[in-house]
Amino acid sequence: MEGLKSRNPLKVRNFKGISASTLQLILLIVALAGLSTAASFIMPGFLTFRHIMTLLYGYTMLGILALAETLIILTGNIDISLGAIYWITIMYGAILMNGKELWIPLLICISLGALLGLINGFGIAYLRIPSIVMTLAMLIALTGVLYVTTGGGGHGRAAPELISFTTGRIYGIPNIVLVWIILVIILEFMLRRTVLGWKIRTIGSNSTASYLTGINVNRIILLVFSLSGILASIAGLFYLGWARTPYPTFQAGAGVGARITLDAIAATILGGTSFYGGRGSFVRTFLGTLVLAISFSILTMSGLGWTWKMIFSGLIMLIVVGLYSKYKT
């Protein structure tokens, strides 16, 4: 298996007796507090429960994609096709549902996400294609398929049940936000408390040693990419339920898929997941997504467009990866 890393990640130094993971968590919480305070000065009422829930609701899809990307990066790989899987779910989900049927189209979309992830995993694990090359090829292929089959425009509509669920709330908390939080808890438990989580972290730390310890690396890579494809499809279904129809958003085409993928990578790296694999946390990715969401909101309130958001995402990745490289021993 060949991912992005050309060498094994090394242990990060402790800072005055504080572990790297704890320090990252503290810094994220401080960043959240500081950004929230700044945002409340720009827009009074920013910290009200209603506005916070609205913010979380709007960034749930990005948050779920960031969880998928975290799962991939933990193995020392990267997936830049998640946005394309996300969009193919939105487009085909709307066509299949056509404002009527829910369950069969939903199962088809989830299965399609798993299959596309499986194809990525197969190319990386068995054909030894670098993950960035394999997923770039998938991104380009899916973009072409979408334009050929849909003409670049939106067709169909979300099923009423999907719309009802994605717009519904429990005690003021949006349903999809609750799903996002549940996914964070499940994935963090899996990573810390299960054999699968240990295998994922071991593969990311040293894939060669993983083979020697008897871990079926190829099988784990297949599983991880399939799960990430499923998560991308779930995010796509949530977006479809929120937007009701994909038109005309998709006219931005592959750019939309590429942007949300890059934002997902930025949220993952901001959350402290090592770009070299083996070290990370889904809880910190959740917090990283919140930091990104509030930062984007501040940029929007300041009258700055999506181009500035892209610049911000790029700078975040450069700074965090640079700091990690500086403080690894």
pLDDT digits (tens, 9 = 90+) for 189-213: 999 999 999 999 999 988 777 877 8
- pLDDT over threshold 90, residue 67: yes
What's the CA gap between 83 and 231, in Å, rounded?
A: 11
pLDDT class of 324 with cuts at 50, 70, 90: low
pLDDT class of 7 with cuts at 50, 70, 90: very low
- What's the number of CA atoms in the CB half-sphere (13 Å) around residue 30? 6
Question: What pLDDT, on a 0 to 100 scale, did the predictor assign at position 74?
Answer: 96
- pLDDT over threshold 70, residue 317: yes
pLDDT class of 177 with cuts at 50, 70, 90: very high
What's the CA gap between 156 and 164, in Å, rounded?
A: 17
- 105-138 pLDDT, tens per residue? 999 999 999 999 999 999 999 999 999 999 999 9
Percent pLDDT > 90 in the chain is 54
> What mean pLDDT value characterizes the chain?
86
Q: Are 35 and 298 in contact (CB under 8 A)?
A: yes
When divided into structural domains, the chain yields a total of 1
Question: What pLDDT, on a 0 to 100 scale, did the predictor assign at position 135?
Answer: 95
Does a structural domain hold residue 140? yes
Does a structural domain hold residue 198? yes
Does a structural domain hold residue 196? yes
Q: What domain range is 79 assigned to?
A: 51-261
- 233-256 pLDDT, tens per residue? 999 999 999 988 886 444 444 445
Does a structural domain hold residue 300? no
Question: What pLDDT, on a 0 to 100 scale, did the predictor assign at position 323?
Answer: 64
Structure tokens at 236: 């796509």
Closest CA to 175 of 238, 244, 232: 238
Does a structural domain hold residue 288? no
Does a structural domain hold residue 36? no
Does a structural domain hold residue 154? yes
- pLDDT over threshold 80, residue 84: yes
pLDDT class of 6 with cuts at 50, 70, 90: very low
Does a structural domain hold residue 187? yes
Residues 122, 70, 278: CA angle, nearest 5 degrees: 85
Closest CA to 96 of 117, 84, 110: 110
Q: Are 112 and 226 in contact (CB under 8 A)?
A: no
Least confident of 172-186, 201-215, 224-238: 201-215
- More confidently predicted of 155 and 81: 81
**Side chain identity at residue 157, one-letter code:** R
For the residues 68-78, what does the mean pLDDT come to?
Answer: 96
Closest CA to 263 of 314, 299, 224: 314
